[in-house]
Structure 1
C-alpha cells in the first residue's frame, strides 16, 4: 500500500497532535529529540520534523497501536508515511 506525500504529512500532523495530547510521552519525545515546546508549533509544517515524530512513534509497538486505534489508521500507516516523507534516506536494508 502506498500513501501520497500529502496524506503522509497529514498523518504526521495527526501523530504530532496525538503526541501533544499525551503528557507523559510528549516529555519523552522532547527529551529524546531535543525539541522544545516552541519547536512543536514552529516545525509542525516541516516534513523533516514530522519524520522525527513518526520515527519516534514507531519505536514502540504499543505507541503505534494506541495512535492507530485512536485515529482509525492501519498499524502500518505511520511507518509508510515516515518512509514517504523521508525519501530514500529511510531505506532499510534488513
Structure 2
C-alpha cells in the first residue's frame, strides 16, 4: 500500500469517527480541538494517529471498514504505510 492510499483510508476513518459520534472521544484522547483536526488532517503523522485511535477497538475497526467497504486488515496495512507505523514484529 502506498502512503497516498493510506492517507485516503485514514481520511475516510476520520470521517467515520465524526459520523459514528466518536469525534469527541478522539478529541479527548488526543487533546486536539476541531480546528486543529481540520488543519492537521493533511498531515501523514496525524492521519496515523487517527488510525491508531480506530485500531484500539475491534468494533470501531469493524464499523469503519464496513462504512468504507474495506477488509478489516486494510486499516492496519494503511497504518503501517504512514509515518510511525513500521512497528517491529516480536515473533
Q: Same fold (TM over 0.5)?
A: yes
| 8 A contact 2:79–2:85 mirrored in 1 | no
The corresponding residue for 1:19 is: 17
CA distance 1:72–1:30, change in 2 (3 Å) = same
Runs ≥4 residues deviating over 2 A: 86-94
Residue 59 in 1 paired to residue 56 in 2?
yes
TM-score, length-scaled by structure 2: 0.90
Mapped to 1, the partners of 2:12 and 2:88 lie a distance apart of 23
- Residues 11-43 of structure 1, C-alpha deviation per residue, up to 9 Å, x if partnerless? 0111111112222x1111110111111111100
Equivalent residue for 1:8, pick from 6, 9, 13: 6
Mapped to 2, the partners of 1:87 and 1:52 lie a distance apart of 9
| Residue segments in structure 2 that go unaligned for 5+ positions in a row | none
| Residue segments in structure 1 that go unaligned for 5+ positions in a row | none
Q: CA deviation at 1:93?
A: 2.6
- The structure whose residues are more often helix, as a share, is 1
The corresponding residue for 1:47 is: 44
Q: CA deviation at 1:72?
A: 0.6
